């Protein structure tokens, strides 16, 4: 018997944060995951990318409640190379496939804005998850914000898996 809390009965949705309240919700999720839970940042994970008008902040909702977020932005002037980062899903929503929805939404959004490739630094325990979503690793693991990550990439125009990213293509973003 399934209950209302079963993942198969849970409605998930993703959309771009469109006002200051939604942006505050986005930052709150990131703070809870990256500062409180993981301890990667001391007080806040926000940086100059958050103030860039080209940065897209996405919210993930579970049954209408904020459950996660992801940030993406172009790394080049032409908007062909994008970076996805700060993927954060609250612990109570990790069984609802919200992370996969957020990643797919970010990839589709970057592609719809002219992107040809997206890169991301992925924490090592999450590499297989991203491979399952079509991402490919490029280069060996390396520390990023003090935690071992792997640079990964995906093509945005062609649904087939992308070639591994060049480490130098990651740009200055976080």
Cα separation of 174 and 67, whole Å?
A: 22
- The CATH code for residues 7-170 is 3.40.630.30
* Rounded mean pLDDT, 128-146: 94
Q: Are 139 and 164 in contact (CB under 8 A)?
A: yes
Share of the chain above pLDDT 70, in %: 85
How crowded is residue 133: how many other Cβ atoms within 10 Å of its Cβ?
A: 15
| pTM of the predicted protein model | 0.84
Enter the tokens of residue 26. Answer: 């986005």
Q: How confident is the model at residue 172 (pLDDT cuts 50, 70, 90)?
A: very low
Cα separation of 159 and 96, whole Å?
A: 24
Q: Where are the domains of the chain?
A: 7-170
* Rounded mean pLDDT, 115-133: 96
Q: What is the pLDDT of residues 43-102, one digit of tens each?
A: 999 999 999 999 999 999 999 999 999 999 999 999 999 999 999 999 999 998 999 999
Which H or E element spans position 108?
A: helix 98-112
pLDDT at residue 144 in the model = 87
């Amino acid at each position: 018997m399934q209950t209302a809390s079963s993942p198969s009965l849970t409605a998930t949705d993703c959309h771009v944060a469109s006002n200051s309240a939604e942006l505050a919700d986005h930052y709150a999720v990131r703070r809870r995951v990256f500062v409180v839970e993981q301890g990667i940042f001391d007080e806040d994970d926000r940086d100059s990318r958050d103030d860039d008008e080209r940065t897209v902040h996405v919210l993930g909702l579970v049954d209408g409640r904020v459950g996660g977020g992801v940030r993406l932005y172009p790394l080049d002037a032409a908007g062909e190379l994008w970076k996805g980062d700060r993927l954060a899903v609250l612990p109570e929503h990790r069984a609802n496939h919200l992370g996969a929805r957020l990643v797919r939404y970010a990839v589709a959004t970057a592609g719809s804005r002219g992107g040809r490739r997206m890169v991301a630094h992925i924490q090592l325990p999450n590499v297989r998850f991203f491979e399952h979503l079509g991402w490919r690793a490029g280069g060996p693991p390396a520390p990023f914000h003090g935690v071992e990550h792997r640079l990964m990439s995906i093509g945005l125009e062609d649904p087939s898996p992308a070639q591994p990213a060049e480490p130098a293509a990651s740009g200055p973003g976080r």
